[in-house]
Structure 1
Amino acid sequence: MKKYQLIANTIKERIIKGIYPQQSFLPKQEELAEEFSVSKITVKSALDLLEREGFVYKESGLGTKVLSNLILLGQHDSPVNSFAGLSAENGSDRVSSKIIKFEVAFPSADLCEKLNLDENDPVYEIIRLRLLDDEPLVIEHTYMPVSQVPALSKRILEGSIYSYLHKKLHIKFGGVFRRIKADLPDKYDRQYLGANESTPILEIEQIVWTNSGVNLEYSRSRNLYSNRSYIMVETSH
């Protein structure tokens, strides 16, 4: 986890505990930079993250204010525009992965279209159960071109794929298209998430591309409707 994410998490905990009350102003960026022994740029990145997640609001010329809408925030809510991944959002010490399927195959016609591939370009087909504090949370169905993600292994899949992409392969994300929808459970949801035949499932379908415009990932992340929701914050600036 990057420094600005650690700082954001610390400030978030203080907000939740009431150390920084709702509608109060946070300490100035200079003070936070001194406290955490980082640059003002790092603090700004942390505050930008908190603003995207709906914890604070920057008032021009006044400072950063704690918002009063936190009653809507659930324990496992995730920002819909997050690029961080589950491990970065919750802490790698709390998140673990069970590999259900890990194979290399040729893509279907539909997958070729989603990832801009030729039918002879092999892809990783990955199904993982992600656990938070050893409790099942999300099932991820992920497809990535082998040519773009070399040497992917079970050891990497047991941790954070995104960490491997960023730190080892030095891949930077350029953007993501996401669609959120409700669905009925499939066999994996019933077996690994404990869903019954009619339990509503929330699914995020996404295509992630790199900063050079290459489609890197097509995935579907599925969870019980009661276990996780997604938040979006819009501001006027």
Structure 2
Amino acid sequence: MTKYESIAAVIKQRIQDNVYQTGTLLPNQSDLASEFGVSRMTINKAINILTMEGFVSSQRGFGTKILNHPLWNKDVSPVNEYRGLSFQMAEQHRQIKSQIISFEVAFPEKKIQERLMLTPQQPVYQIVRLRIVDDDPFILEHTIMPVDLIPNLTDDILKESIYHYIQFDLGLQIAGAYRNIQATRADEFDIKYLQCQPTDPVLEVEQVAYLKNGRPFEYSHSRNRFDKRGYTELDMRN
């Protein structure tokens, strides 16, 4: 967890504990920077996380107002979330584990070459994992990554957090992702691993994730049970 992520978690807990009351203003960034011993830029990053999650609203000239909007009754994630599922679940004090369904190296087909800016000769990992949260099937992830960019992936890494490995072991900086979210029908994999019914809708998230140097490092599509997970977007105008 980065410094700004840990600060965001502390502030969020204070909001939930009513230390910072709904409808009031968050202490200004200079005071928070002094309290946590960090720069205002770090505090601004923490507030951005809280804004995306619906806990605060920042308006230029008016400060940062406490919203503490509940995110409904099922797990939701901001559409521009890129910290990884393991971090999100750890933040919520929930247990997560991964079941590896398939893990192999292959040469990319044309669509993957285009998505990840690869040549036909650059091998990729093809990974399918079932993410299990609190012993319930949660997300079925189909992930493709360039071998040269994310070297030495192992079963142990896949059972934990690929994003943690990318950021903290490889030292790569993730910039964000482009996502397409749509409803679709359950397929055979969903029925088998997510325990869906044949008539259940599934929320599919197709994603290309990028490093700060602009290179795409992941193409994936995750399959989410309709009753387990959703995505939310906060649209604010300054």
- Fold similarity call, TM over 0.5: yes
Identity of aligned residues (%): 42
Q: C-alpha distance in 1, partners of 2:236/2:176? A: 20
The answer to whether the aligner puts 1:108 opposite 2:106 as a matched pair is: no
Q: Cα distance, 1:138 vs. partner?
A: 0.8
Unmatched tracts of structure 1, length 5 or more: none
SS of 1:91's equivalent?
helix
Q: C-alpha distance in 1, partners of 2:197/2:168? A: 39
After superposition, the Cα gap between the structure-2 partners of 1:73 and 1:15, relative to the gap in structure 1 and judged at 3 Å, is farther
Report the more deviating stretch, 177-186 or 208-217: 208-217
Normalised TM-score (structure 1): 0.90
After superposition, the Cα gap between the structure-2 partners of 1:212 and 1:41, relative to the gap in structure 1 and judged at 3 Å, is closer
Query: What amino acid sits opposite 1:89 in the alignment?
Result: Q
Aligned counterpart, 1:48: 48
Aligned counterpart, 1:118: 119
Q: C-alpha distance in 2, partners of 1:213/1:37? A: 31
Aligned counterpart, 1:21: 21
Question: Could you list the per-position Cα deviations for residues 117-168 of structure 1 after superposition, in whole angstroms to 9, with x for gaps in the alignment?
Answer: 2222211000111122232211110000111111111111111111111112
What are the within-5 Å matches in structure 2 for residues 164-183 of structure 1?
Answer: 164-183=165-184
Q: C-alpha distance in 1, partners of 2:40/2:221? A: 37
After superposition, the Cα gap between the structure-2 partners of 1:175 and 1:6, relative to the gap in structure 1 and judged at 3 Å, is closer
Does the 8 Å contact 2:98/2:159 carry over to 1? yes
Q: C-alpha distance in 2, partners of 1:10/1:226? A: 29
Q: Cα distance, 1:72 vs. partner?
A: 4.9
Does the 8 Å contact 2:98/2:131 carry over to 1? yes
Query: What amino acid sits opposite 1:217 in the alignment?
Result: E
Aligned counterpart, 2:8: 8
Question: Could you list the per-position Cα deviations for residues 11-41 of structure 1 after superposition, in whole angstroms to 9, with x for gaps in the alignment?
Answer: 2233234332321112333443454444433
Q: C-alpha distance in 1, partners of 2:118/2:152? A: 19
Normalised TM-score (structure 2): 0.90
What are the within-5 Å matches in structure 2 for residues 91-170 of structure 1?
Answer: 91=90, 94-170=95-171
Question: Could you list the per-position Cα deviations for residues 190-216 of structure 1 after superposition, in whole angstroms to 9, with x for gaps in the alignment?
Answer: 112110101110011011122222221
Q: C-alpha distance in 2, partners of 1:135/1:122? A: 33
The answer to whether the aligner puts 1:81 opposite 2:52 as a matched pair is: no
Query: What amino acid sits opposite 1:109 in the alignment?
Result: K
Query: What amino acid sits opposite 1:48 in the alignment?
Result: N
After superposition, the Cα gap between the structure-2 partners of 1:40 and 1:210, relative to the gap in structure 1 and judged at 3 Å, is closer
Unmatched tracts of structure 2, length 5 or more: none
Query: What amino acid sits opposite 1:221 in the alignment?
Result: S
Aligned counterpart, 1:218: 219
Q: C-alpha distance in 1, partners of 2:71/2:52? A: 15
Q: Cα distance, 1:6 vs. partner?
A: 1.8
